[in-house]
Amino acid sequence: MPLSKSARTGLLSRVCAAAALVLIPFSSGIAQQAPEQAEWAPCAQCHERIVKHFEGNKHSVKGVKGTPASLGGGCGACHGDISDHLKTGSTDKLVRLSDKKTPADQRSGTCLGCHSSGRHLTYWDMSKHKKNEVACSDCHNVHGKKDRAEVNYYRTTVFDLEQEACEVCHLQVRNQFNKISHHPVPEGKMKCSDCHNPHGTLNHAMIKADSITQLCTTCHADKRGPYIWEHPPVEQNCLTCHQSHGGVANKLLTERQPNLCEDCHDWGRHPSNFYDAKLGFIPPPGFPVSPSSRLVARSCTNCHSNIHGSNAAGTAGKRFIK
């Protein structure tokens, strides 16, 4: 049965009243957020670009609200007492996180005031970075990525790739990644922090494992074993034969085969003769020998294919042939 005009009017008024009751909490929430956003409003008058990047990231939402106005509101949580800076422009009392003249311990101490409980920072005090006076702000940008207002990072580097931040100091490693054989870090398939903890560990080079071999077999599980016949260098340290970042030899080897193998296996047995003038591409005139068949496109692993270890029986397994 259709409703009369008066009934429809009454129903519409009740619906509007109910909607108003639902919207009241949301409108009050918006009203409550305005004073919080005003905590860094005085700073935005001069630092508009920084504040624009800062708003919306996790530092602005979680970390710095509720700071007393006497310290300058939200920005004062990290930069200290900025009341004089607001009045006179003086920077004497400011903690300038991006200023290299500020001691590294003071700059990092500002961050550790909130982040000291993180498990990845357990060994920060004994890390190589801290001992070399590297501060958090040397790698992280707490305001957000520069010149990218649409993306607000709170805990990331100021570079597109993590590798680019590390290479600012580790120039030698950058050169190794430019070599023909390298881990896929420049391609973005791996990160430096996949192997290293930049905040410190108890291990050499701040690697994230108790040994190099354990670290490598995290990804290269097929080389882990156990094997009946183990190749001693594999068990001891993968870096005996391989480079960690990059090299000119195939498969990140420290040098090409068979020279690599001959570092340990001398020429006294079959047939690892040194390549000299007699055993090259074309022997010099007067030498009644043939060119070496092992110099090009052949190597020790043509026969000793399971060089990391073998479970085959007998001499085939002992010599890593099967």
Per-residue 3-state assignment (H helix, E strand, C coil) for 218-264: CCCHHHCCCCCEECHHHHHCHHHCECCCEECCHHHECCCCCHHHHCC
Q: Are residues 183 and 270 in the same domain?
A: no
Within 8 A by CB and 6+ apart from 39, the residues are: 64, 65, 67, 69, 73, 74, 75
Residue the block writes with tokens 């509720």: 66
In a domain, 187, yes or no: yes
Q: Are residues 282 and 186 in the same domain?
A: no
74 alpha-carbon distance from chain centroid: 29
Rounded CA gap, 146 and 49, in Å? 9
Please indicate, yes or no, whether the overall pTM of this predicted structure exceeds 0.85. no
In a domain, 139, yes or no: yes
Q: Are residues 208 and 233 in the same domain?
A: no
The helix (run of H) or strand (run of E) holding residue 309 is: strand 309-310
Please tell me the total count of domains within the chain: 2
Q: Are residues 232 and 203 in the same domain?
A: no
Q: Are residues 167 and 110 in the same domain?
A: yes
In a domain, 203, yes or no: yes
Give pLDDT tens digits along the chain (322 positions): 555 556 555 555 664 555 444 444 444 443 334 334 456 677 888 888 778 777 766 677 655 544 444 444 567 778 877 888 888 888 887 877 778 788 899 889 888 888 888 788 899 998 999 999 999 888 887 776 654 444 334 345 556 678 888 988 999 999 999 999 999 999 889 999 999 999 999 999 999 999 999 999 999 999 988 999 999 999 899 999 999 999 999 999 999 887 888 888 876 556 555 555 555 555 556 666 665 555 555 678 888 889 999 999 998 999 999 8
Report pLDDT for 81: 79
What count of other Cβ atoms lies within 10 Å of the Cβ of residue 85?
21
Q: Are residues 121 and 210 in the same domain?
A: yes
In a domain, 99, yes or no: no
Q: Are residues 175 and 279 in the same domain?
A: no
Within 8 A by CB and 6+ apart from 93, the residues are: 80, 81, 82, 84, 85
Within 8 A by CB and 6+ apart from 206, the residues are: 127, 128, 129, 196, 197, 198, 200
Q: Would strands 309-310 and 246-247 be described as parallel, antiparallel, or unpaired?
A: unpaired
- For 216, the token pair is 């490598």
Q: Are residues 204 and 234 in the same domain?
A: no
Rounded CA gap, 18 and 312, in Å? 79
Evaluate the CA torsion angle 124, 125, 126, 128 in order and state its sign.
Answer: positive
Reduced to 3 states (helix: H, G, I; strand: E, B; else coil), residue 207 is strand
In a domain, 78, yes or no: no
**Domain boundary residue among 167, 194, 216?**
216
Q: Are residues 251 and 303 in the same domain?
A: yes
Q: Are residues 201 and 235 in the same domain?
A: no
In a domain, 83, yes or no: no
In a domain, 9, yes or no: no
**Domain boundary residue among 216, 251, 267?**
216
Q: Are residues 212 and 242 in the same domain?
A: no
In a domain, 179, yes or no: yes
- Structural domain for 176, as ranges: 104-145+154-216
Q: Are residues 233 and 174 in the same domain?
A: no
**Domain boundary residue among 216, 248, 268?**
216
